[in-house]
Copies of this chain bind each other. A is one copy, B any other.
Amino acid sequence: MYGRLMLPELQVLLAENDITGIQEFCDALYPAVTAEILSELESQNVWRVLACNSPEKQAEIFQFLDLPQQIEIVGVVERGPLSKLIEEMAPDDRVDLLSRMDDERVEELLPLIAQAERSDIRKLLSYPEDSAGAIMTTEYASLPEDLSVAQALEKLRHQAPDSEIISYIYVVDEGRRLQGIVSLRELIFARPTRPLSELINRDVISVRVDDDQEYVAQQMAKFDFVAIPVVDNQNQLVGIVTHDDAIDIMQEEATEDTYRLAAVEPLEDSYLSTSLKTVIQKRIGWLIFLLVPSFLAAKVLQHYEGISDRYEWLVLFIPLILASGGNAGSQSATLIIRAMALETNIDKGDLTALLRKEIQLGVLLGGALALISFTVALAFTTQMIQATVVGLAVFLVVLIGISAGGMLPMGFRRLGMDPALMSNPFITALVDILGLIIYFQVAMAMVS
């Protein structure tokens, strides 16, 4: 918004090839704002703007661009300046980028990158996707234990420019094993001669390098941490995950769950920057799969052709039966899947309570909808018995829809699978088939 207003100014500077002007422009703005403006430009021009700045500044701005745009841009940059830019990027951001680039290009680039950074990159690239290791940064402040407060501050003075966050300082032994944390606040306000060891909080919450990123974010949200340390199997400190990553992960996981509820496979990038081909791949599988229950529904209708021919009014309410079961079921499934995503500690007792609640809801909501359906059906048929069939079927279908919507995600969880794999259209489709059978059975019992 704010950024967009400055776009014309930058375009004038580019047209005039005013290198000093562009540099001053970038210095005046927050890197995030500059990145917002650059997101409107072609890759060639983005690089022309970035090239006017020092590699440090380049990296600061570049890191705020979307990953798909980053990938496009590295495609137009020479190896030399590109390796400088990558050297300056935060370890976690540059590994995200490199893991999405062609392997060949990465192998070309790595020799140009300084030794220390290079081995850091190789190590981070080796962690599985979506693990703590893949999202952590290796820029943190750490200290040995046997220092005074003054010595500790002096050591930090040299480390600090490289550390993303120094609200906490991690204390490690000679084997880099995590011993505890000290808050920067305590450190500054402590007497300079006091031994560091007296300030250490040794009861540290850490995550393992192979923990899932969702668990890492949940731990950070639970403890309200600005950063959480990441350790390997030997309890050696290997990195930290910071609060901004936690927000990104939460967003990513919420988006995945939302997509799955609507039967879309998760996308890697934002919808806007995903290609048509990829979108089709993420959607068509579910759509084809969901045709199966529709054809089963056709089989059911074929089976009951005798009765629907004789009582043609039955056909009129097929959409009502299908929709009321599906809608009630989707509501339940969504509420339960989201509850499971948010509460890390739902136990068996909670599940039983949830299920009891769903059944009560099914009876009450089903009753209300049945009453309305009965009344409106009278406007179509005038015969009490026909309206009763419709009302009773709606009641049963809503009850079944809510029970299925509640139980299926729980069942998935019991089987150790992600409850969010159970999409609403799939629940709706199952309820559709059951609903049609119930509808015609009720009709057969009551009118024939």
Q: Which residues of A contact B (CB under 8 A)?
A: 1, 3-4, 28, 30, 32, 36, 64, 153, 156-157, 160, 165-167, 184-185, 188-189, 203, 205, 220-224, 226, 243-244, 246-248, 250-251, 254-255, 257-259, 261-264, 270-272, 276, 279-280, 283-284, 286-288, 290-291, 293-295, 297-298, 301-302, 305, 308-309, 312, 315-320, 322-324, 326-328, 330-331, 333-336, 338-339, 342-347, 350, 353-354, 357, 360-361, 364-365, 368-369, 372-373, 376, 380, 424-425, 428-429, 432, 436
Q: Is the CB of A319 within 8 A of B270?
A: no
Complex-state Cα separation, A257 to B327, whole angstroms:
16
Complex-state Cα separation, A425 to B431, whole angstroms:
15
Q: Is the interface of A mostly helix, strand, loop or mixed?
A: helix
Q: Is the CB of B259 within 8 A of A258?
A: no
CB distance from A429 to the nearest CB of B (A): 6
Complex-state Cα separation, A276 to B362, whole angstroms:
11
Complex-state Cα separation, A297 to B380, whole angstroms:
12
3 closest residue pairs by CB, A with B: A262-B334, A254-B254, A297-B319
Q: Can you offer 17 A-B residue contacts whose CB atoms are under 8 A?
A: A4-B347, A157-B189, A184-B185, A226-B226, A226-B243, A250-B254, A255-B338, A262-B333, A264-B331, A283-B331, A288-B372, A291-B320, A294-B320, A297-B320, A318-B318, A319-B436, A322-B322
- Measured between beta carbons, the chain B residues less than 8 angstroms from A364 are 276, 280
Q: Is the CB of B365 within 8 A of A283?
A: yes
Complex-state Cα separation, A189 to B160, whole angstroms:
9
CB distance from A254 to the nearest CB of B (A): 4
Q: Which of B280, B319, B323 contacts A365 (CB 8 A)?
A: B280
**Residue from the set A3, A244, A324 with the largest chain B CB neighbour count within 10 Å:** A244
Using A272-B339, A338-B271 as known contacts, say yes or no to A301 and B315 having CB atoms under 8 A apart. yes
Q: Which of B247, B255, B316 contacts A301 (CB 8 A)?
A: B316
Q: Is the CB of A272 within 8 A of B343?
A: yes
- Measured between beta carbons, the chain B residues less than 8 angstroms from A262 are 261, 330-331, 333-335, 424
- Measured between beta carbons, the chain B residues less than 8 angstroms from A32 are 222-224
Q: Which of B167, B318, B326, B339 contacts A270 (CB 8 A)?
A: B339
Q: Which of B3, B246, B276, B312 contacts A309 (CB 8 A)?
A: B312
